[in-house]
Structure 1
Amino acid sequence: MVQDQIEGAAQKVAGKVQDTVGALTGDEQMQAEGKVRQAFGNLQESYGQTVDQVRVAVASQPIQGVLIAAAVGFVLGALWNRDR
């Protein structure tokens, strides 16, 4: 498991607790902050899963990974030069 996945899961749990406490106490700001924290946790966890999947894919097919990285670099370079 990647660190981002662990931190994302922790953010989701903390956000859920914060959301629940806000709902029980009637504190709408705390409840909104809890929902934002949950959303951030979901995003961070998804990012960690994606990074892990890319790492596994590149490890199993390194040449394909190098070719994809080169293609992405070429496209980014073309976009960078086009704006100037």
Structure 2
Amino acid sequence: MDTDRIVGSAKEYAGRAEGAIGDMAGDAKTQASGKAREAAGTVQNLYGQAKDAVRDAADTATSYAKDAYENSGDTFRDGTQALSKKVQDNPLGALMVAGGIGFALALLMSRPARRPPPRWRYYS
């Protein structure tokens, strides 16, 4: 729990008490001061809550990243084993897929044939 939340809650309750005392005494200045202190405490409390939420989100993201990093080798190994099993089960299909991918890459990487520049015929 963030210290801003604790201090903000204390200010909020002190402002409520000051506002109540201003109401009972009929003093508008004390009442306004209490409302201002209560609003400041509420804002500080919300700021502390936001800081806590950001800290929790950062901790969660860090733990997810750490887990993903630690398990990345296992995931890669499992994917490689599954791919090699598919190739062993159907070698002709794997060869056709690899050939199709190679053909598509060759089409994408080749440049179109250069056309000769247009010949302009001038008629005199």
Deviations 1:36-73 (A, max 9, x none): 000001100000000000001011113xxxxxxxxxxx
Query: Where in structure 2 are the equivalents of 1:57-68 lying within 5 Å?
Result: 57-62=57-62
For structure 2, list consecutive stretches of 5 or more residues without a partner in the other structure: 63-124
Q: Deviations over 1:5-64 (max 9, x none)?
A: 0000000110000000001001100000000000001100000000000001011113xx
Q: What is the aligned length?
A: 63
Runs (4+) of structure 1 exceeding 6 A deviation are: none
Q: CA RMSD in A?
A: 1.2
Q: Quick one: distance in 1 between partners of 2:31 and 2:21?
A: 7
State the TM-score, normalizing by the size of structure 2. 0.49
Give the percent of matched residue pairs that are identical in Structure 1 and Structure 2: 40
Q: What does residue 55 of structure 1 align with?
A: 55
Q: Which has the higher contact order (CA 8 A, sep 6+)?
A: 1
Show the counterpart of 1:9: 9
